[in-house]
Amino acid sequence: MCDVNHHGFTRPGYLIDVKAESIAAEGALFTRALAHHAEVGLSTEQIRGLLDISREYHARQVQIRLRMAQLAEQAEQKRGRLTPARLAERKPLLDERAELFRADEELFFTYAARGQELLTDEQLDLISDIYHAEKDEGLAVLAPALRGAVGPTFTFRPTEVAS
């Protein structure tokens, strides 16, 4: 039993942590497809297109994240008591941050769909197979640590892992 007072959920074996964070990829898209370009059979045009989409995505994401940082600084309580009036002053800042959080995730899906338009169904299936194989390999490496964290009855079965 860990005697550290963790924030939120405990982290058995420090392997599990639950945070409220965006599901949007950080900075780059289609890195797996590009890393396996030969295996996936990407053409030069597809590679260039995916790189352009990834660059555009990153630039737009940086704009959103910079604005979120500005709003966070403005909303921060630096001195004094949080009175109802001070809380009310922060509501528009928090509302805009929430809108930007959603915009960040929508941006991810919009640009992911644009990149998928450049790929064939067969290429998408192959990229998915590569992803699941890499994920299963990584989880298999963690299986002993997970077993130690949650108990000896833990068994890793790749087919049961949600994608």
- Kindly give, in sequence order, each residue whose CB lies less than 8 Å from that of residue 74, ignoring residues fewer than 6 positions away: 93
| Whether the predicted pLDDT of 88 surpasses 90 | yes
**Residue 56's pLDDT is what?**
97
* CA angle centred on 145, ends 143 and 148, rounded to 5°: 110
Q: Where are the alpha helices (DSSP H) in the chain?
A: 31-35, 37-40, 44-75, 84-116, 121-150
Burial 21-42 (b: 16+ CB within 10 A, else e): ebebbeeebbeebbebeeebeb
- C-alpha 141/C-alpha 88 separation (Å) is 49
- pLDDT of 112 above 60: yes
Handedness of CA 41, 44, 49, 51 (dihedral sign): positive
- Write the pLDDT tens digit of every residue in 45-79: 999 999 999 999 999 999 999 999 999 999 888 88
Q: Are 133 and 125 in contact, with CB atoms under 8 Å apart?
A: no
Higher pLDDT, 144 or 20: 144
**Selected residue with higher pLDDT from 11 and 149:** 149
Q: How much is the pTM? A: 0.76
C-alpha 79 chain-centroid distance: 33
Sequence-distant (6+) residues with CB within 8 A of 91 are none
